[in-house]
Structure 1
Amino acid sequence: DPAGRSGRWRVELGDGHTLTADAVVVAAPAPVAARLLRPEAPAAAGELDAVDYASMALITMAFRRSDLPAEPPGSGFLVPPVDGRGIKAATFSANKWSWTAAQDPGLFVLRTSVGRHGEDEWLRRDDAELAALSRRDLAEAVGLTAVPVDTVVTRWEGGLPQYPVGHLERVARVHRDLAERPGLTVCGAAYAGVGVPACIADGRRAADLTLRTARPAGEGE
């Protein structure tokens, strides 16, 4: 909350300590950001409450290249919902990112993703089932029938913000509300894109805005 008339911000930490800052950038998922912003920016918080999320699981598998009659080409593929398959995408990491192949040239690493918005039943399956359905779908899609030498399943509960029609307008309303509170802004995957480049760009936007609008310590005191 604002610390008196100085234009600075007071942040109360979970351990009871308090920080005073020229500016605050809330880089958190939309539900958390909404809770933090509600006392000072209820309109922005209300907009963020409406951002929905999907859960997903990543199934990473490593294959011996010597076990592959032919390595899958390209960087991967997407699976449309109408196909009715368990996986929604596959990324051939060894092809897409050379550093993964360089770590062990004898291995071909890939990953699949499972879980769409409103389809959480897939994620109630155990790790072995998710790995098995991934291998089945890979076999049908690209003919990959080899047995992986290692498999790791990573689950992200509520990890993917959804961008329905009207999302950009919602984000614009959030930014307009926060613009009335200099030194307070937000950034993250909930606003302009979930990929790493999009998150970096949004972080830079928030940093530039903060440098332009935050009131330095001592000014106005």
Structure 2
Amino acid sequence: MPPRTTRHPRRRTDGLSPERIVDAAVEILDAEGEDGLTFRRLADLLVTGPGAIYHHVANKGELLVAATETILASATSVASVDGLREEDAVRTVALAVFDAIDAHPWVGAQLANPLQPAMVRLFESIGRQVRALGVPEAALFTSTSALTNYILGVGGLNAANARAVENTNRTDVLVTVSAAWANLDPDEYPFTRDVAQQMREHDDRTQFLDGIDLILAGIGALGRSS
């Protein structure tokens, strides 16, 4: 009878790298959210042991920071494109972040932390454009915060709404909500009834940029009055 052989679990033969680990983490985060990201789950996906991952990444918090920076890196760098007017640079960054949160909903929660490096870079990117608009020094923080909070707030809300109606046709949802608004009590909800049709026909990205333009108009007025 031939001797029994010991079967060893499958292991990667190619070396791990921080980039490969972060890419795998993003894959898990996109599919399962932050709660689904564990070093055991990551090790399974990478076909390795948790110890090999700890060699490159100290803990889950560090991994989330790196994953967030990877997703936001291109979004926060677009403002440096030569030839862009300050307003257009803000719109470009804003839309890039909006789309990033839409594609990776977990990013929104990470950017709520003011110490998150990607958040600091976003604030810096927006702030430089606001300063270039000639806003008075005393109004720089408030103006930049208004834009940043709007970008993150609307981006996060849009992503949450998308998850809430996942596997449901967006047009059908808007039709249903619009009809419900139109049938509200006219004495208690006159405004909501009046805009019900606009809500039904709106485009999320277009409305988002319209909001950016409203804020920029107010910021521009600050610059002109200085």
TM-score, length-scaled by structure 1: 0.26
Instruction: Looking at secondary structure, tell me which structure has more strand per residue.
Output: 1
Structure 1 or 2: more helix by fraction: 2
Q: Which structure has more RCO (C-alpha within 8 Å, separation ≥ 6)?
A: 1
Q: TM-score, normalised by structure 2?
A: 0.25
